Amino acid sequence: MIILGIDPGLKATGYGVVHFESNINKLLEAGTIEPKQKSPIQDKIGRIYSIVGELIDNYRPDVLVLEKLFAHYKHPITAAIMGHARGVICLLCSQKKVRLSELSPKRVRKAVTGNGNASKVQTKRVVAYLLKVDEEKLTLDASDALALALGFTQIEGRLG
Protein backbone atom coordinates (compact mmCIF):
# COMPACT_ATOMS: atom_id res chain seq x y z
CA MET A 1 0.00 0.00 0.00
CA ILE A 2 1.29 3.47 -0.89
CA ILE A 3 0.27 6.26 1.47
CA LEU A 4 0.65 9.99 0.82
CA GLY A 5 0.54 12.06 4.00
CA ILE A 6 -0.11 15.80 3.73
CA ASP A 7 0.30 18.45 6.44
CA PRO A 8 -1.46 21.40 4.74
CA GLY A 9 -0.65 25.10 5.03
CA LEU A 10 -0.19 28.13 2.81
CA LYS A 11 3.24 29.01 4.22
CA ALA A 12 4.43 25.40 4.13
CA THR A 13 2.72 22.16 3.13
CA GLY A 14 4.59 19.06 4.19
CA TYR A 15 4.26 15.82 2.26
CA GLY A 16 5.51 12.30 2.70
CA VAL A 17 5.08 9.17 0.63
CA VAL A 18 5.44 5.82 2.37
CA HIS A 19 5.20 2.28 1.02
CA PHE A 20 3.67 -0.01 3.64
CA GLU A 21 3.83 -3.77 3.18
CA SER A 22 4.00 -6.67 5.67
CA ASN A 23 4.24 -4.22 8.60
CA ILE A 24 7.30 -2.58 7.05
CA ASN A 25 7.29 1.12 6.15
CA LYS A 26 9.65 2.43 3.49
CA LEU A 27 10.12 6.11 2.75
CA LEU A 28 9.67 6.90 -0.94
CA GLU A 29 9.77 10.72 -0.83
CA ALA A 30 9.27 13.60 1.59
CA GLY A 31 9.49 17.34 1.32
CA THR A 32 7.90 20.71 1.84
CA ILE A 33 6.02 22.91 -0.58
CA GLU A 34 6.84 26.52 0.28
CA PRO A 35 5.12 29.06 -1.97
CA LYS A 36 6.65 32.52 -2.06
CA GLN A 37 5.41 34.54 0.93
CA LYS A 38 4.43 37.57 -1.15
CA SER A 39 2.61 35.58 -3.84
CA PRO A 40 -1.13 36.11 -4.18
CA ILE A 41 -3.26 33.43 -2.54
CA GLN A 42 -4.33 31.98 -5.89
CA ASP A 43 -0.67 31.40 -6.80
CA LYS A 44 0.04 29.72 -3.45
CA ILE A 45 -2.95 27.44 -3.86
CA GLY A 46 -2.02 26.78 -7.49
CA ARG A 47 1.48 25.69 -6.47
CA ILE A 48 0.12 23.30 -3.84
CA TYR A 49 -2.40 21.92 -6.36
CA SER A 50 0.29 21.41 -8.99
CA ILE A 51 2.85 19.67 -6.77
CA VAL A 52 0.37 17.45 -4.92
CA GLY A 53 -1.14 16.54 -8.30
CA GLU A 54 2.32 15.50 -9.54
CA LEU A 55 2.88 13.41 -6.39
CA ILE A 56 -0.41 11.61 -6.97
CA ASP A 57 0.42 11.02 -10.63
CA ASN A 58 3.95 9.80 -9.85
CA TYR A 59 3.20 7.51 -6.89
CA ARG A 60 -0.46 6.52 -7.43
CA PRO A 61 -1.19 6.36 -3.67
CA ASP A 62 -3.85 4.02 -2.37
CA VAL A 63 -4.80 6.65 0.19
CA LEU A 64 -4.03 10.30 0.89
CA VAL A 65 -4.01 11.09 4.61
CA LEU A 66 -4.76 14.71 5.39
CA GLU A 67 -4.46 16.42 8.74
CA LYS A 68 -7.92 17.21 10.11
CA LEU A 69 -8.84 20.85 10.36
CA PHE A 70 -8.09 22.19 13.81
CA ALA A 71 -9.26 25.62 14.94
CA HIS A 72 -7.83 27.22 18.04
CA TYR A 73 -10.05 29.88 19.56
CA LYS A 74 -7.10 32.30 19.78
CA HIS A 75 -6.31 31.92 16.05
CA PRO A 76 -9.60 31.53 14.13
CA ILE A 77 -8.16 32.92 10.88
CA THR A 78 -5.58 30.12 10.73
CA ALA A 79 -8.32 27.51 10.20
CA ALA A 80 -9.81 29.52 7.33
CA ILE A 81 -6.41 29.94 5.68
CA MET A 82 -5.55 26.25 6.08
CA GLY A 83 -8.96 25.46 4.59
CA HIS A 84 -7.80 26.85 1.24
CA ALA A 85 -4.90 24.39 1.07
CA ARG A 86 -7.08 21.52 2.29
CA GLY A 87 -9.73 22.37 -0.30
CA VAL A 88 -7.44 21.95 -3.31
CA ILE A 89 -6.06 18.71 -1.87
CA CYS A 90 -9.58 17.32 -1.37
CA LEU A 91 -10.43 18.42 -4.92
CA LEU A 92 -7.41 16.51 -6.25
CA CYS A 93 -8.53 13.38 -4.40
CA SER A 94 -11.93 13.67 -6.05
CA GLN A 95 -10.52 14.34 -9.51
CA LYS A 96 -7.89 11.60 -9.37
CA LYS A 97 -10.07 9.06 -7.52
CA VAL A 98 -7.76 8.73 -4.50
CA ARG A 99 -9.19 7.59 -1.18
CA LEU A 100 -9.05 10.41 1.38
CA SER A 101 -8.59 9.84 5.10
CA GLU A 102 -8.50 12.63 7.67
CA LEU A 103 -6.77 12.17 11.01
CA SER A 104 -6.30 14.50 13.94
CA PRO A 105 -2.73 15.44 14.90
CA LYS A 106 -3.29 14.23 18.46
CA ARG A 107 -4.49 10.79 17.32
CA VAL A 108 -1.56 10.49 14.90
CA ARG A 109 1.00 11.47 17.52
CA LYS A 110 -0.51 8.95 19.94
CA ALA A 111 -0.27 6.20 17.29
CA VAL A 112 3.29 7.08 16.23
CA THR A 113 4.98 8.19 19.47
CA GLY A 114 2.69 6.75 22.14
CA ASN A 115 1.95 10.28 23.37
CA GLY A 116 -0.85 12.36 21.85
CA ASN A 117 0.76 15.49 23.28
CA ALA A 118 4.21 14.84 21.80
CA SER A 119 5.88 17.93 20.39
CA LYS A 120 6.67 18.37 16.71
CA VAL A 121 10.35 17.80 17.51
CA GLN A 122 9.63 14.57 19.42
CA THR A 123 7.43 13.38 16.57
CA LYS A 124 10.14 14.19 14.03
CA ARG A 125 12.66 12.17 16.03
CA VAL A 126 10.39 9.10 16.16
CA VAL A 127 9.47 9.38 12.45
CA ALA A 128 13.16 9.56 11.49
CA TYR A 129 13.90 6.53 13.66
CA LEU A 130 11.01 4.47 12.27
CA LEU A 131 11.90 5.25 8.66
CA LYS A 132 15.66 5.00 9.24
CA VAL A 133 16.41 8.47 7.85
CA ASP A 134 18.60 11.30 9.07
CA GLU A 135 16.47 13.51 11.30
CA GLU A 136 18.29 16.61 10.05
CA LYS A 137 17.09 15.97 6.49
CA LEU A 138 13.41 16.27 7.49
CA THR A 139 11.59 19.54 7.96
CA LEU A 140 8.98 19.66 10.72
CA ASP A 141 6.25 19.90 8.07
CA ALA A 142 7.57 16.86 6.16
CA SER A 143 7.91 14.83 9.37
CA ASP A 144 4.33 15.75 10.35
CA ALA A 145 3.17 14.52 6.93
CA LEU A 146 5.13 11.30 7.35
CA ALA A 147 3.64 10.89 10.83
CA LEU A 148 0.20 11.08 9.20
CA ALA A 149 1.14 8.27 6.80
CA LEU A 150 2.68 6.16 9.58
CA GLY A 151 -0.21 6.86 11.92
CA PHE A 152 -2.64 5.73 9.27
CA THR A 153 -0.93 2.33 9.07
CA GLN A 154 -1.11 1.99 12.88
CA ILE A 155 -4.72 3.17 13.21
CA GLU A 156 -6.03 1.22 10.21
CA GLY A 157 -4.21 -1.88 11.46
CA ARG A 158 -6.04 -1.61 14.80
CA LEU A 159 -9.39 -1.00 13.15
CA GLY A 160 -9.06 -3.64 10.46
pLDDT tens readout for residues 102-134: 999 999 999 999 999 999 999 999 999 999 999
Contact (Cβ atoms closer than 8 angstroms) between residue 86 and residue 97: no
- How many domains is the chain built from? 1
3-class DSSP state for residue 68? coil
Query: Cα separation of 37 and 65, whole Å?
Result: 26
- Tell me which residues are annotated as active site: 7, 67, 141
* In the predicted structure, residue 88 carries a pLDDT above the cut 60: yes
Torsion over CA: 155, 56, 123, 19 (sign): positive
- CATH (domain of 76): 3.30.420.10
Task: Decide: pTM greater than 0.95.
Answer: no
Domain enclosing residue 144, as ranges: 2-159
* 40 Cβ contact list (under 8 Å, min separation 6): none
- Please state at what angle helix 76-95 crosses helix 41-59, rounded to 10 degrees: 40
